Amino acid sequence: MSYKLQGVSVRLVDGGSHCAGRVEVLHRGQWGTVCDDGWDMSDAAVVCRELRCGEAVDALSDAHFGPGSGPIWMVDVDCRGSESTLKKCHSTLWGKHACNHSKDAGVICSGVRLVGGSRCSGRVEVLHGETWSTVCDADFDQLDAEVVCRELGCGLPVEVLGAAAFGRGEGQVWSEEL
């Protein structure tokens, strides 16, 4: 399963959603994979940001989501973590390598984000399909906050706020219990 976001030349494949899977990049009109040599959380963070999938939860190696096929476009990827796209990260020359598909890189993104505050505070939104939805505070408690904070690498929650403390969200409200 892959996800197409207009203007983006990276996708995550075979992970069950467009926010998890084997990393593939579009180069010269052809999709190819990324070798896991040097693959880390800074690289994964760039992919998650480019796909608008929240924060990086894990950077995976050894073809965790299965081996890809076709060219292996990027090897020795070295992102600072602030790049807007994976293609802006330093890597070995495109297609020049001794890597194989048993070393395809993968990423799991959170699909959760905090809006209206800082990286570790704000209104909770979850990605459902292609749409970010605000989480209803009716059933959201300390345990839910602990999961969100852990997933975003923010430590333990200090306080759980309701009543649109960080402003009202737009669009759909996620009413299902987390």
pLDDT tens by residue, 53-81: 888 889 999 999 999 998 999 999 999 98
Domains of the chain: 10-109 (3.10.250.10), 112-174 (3.10.250.10)
Q: pTM surpassing 0.85?
A: no
* Token pair for 132: 């970010």
Looking at residue 169, its pLDDT comes to 65
Strand-pairing partners, residue 14, are 21
pLDDT digits (tens, 9 = 90+) for 85-131: 999 999 886 766 789 999 999 999 988 888 887 778 888 888 776 67
Question: CA-CA distance, 44 to 53, in Å (whole number)?
Answer: 11
Of 11, 59, 15, 16, nearest in space to 37 by CA? 59
Is 60 within 8 Å of 108 (Cβ atoms)?
Answer: yes
Looking at per-residue pLDDT, the higher value among 37 and 177 belongs to 37
CA gap 60, 49 in Å, rounded: 17
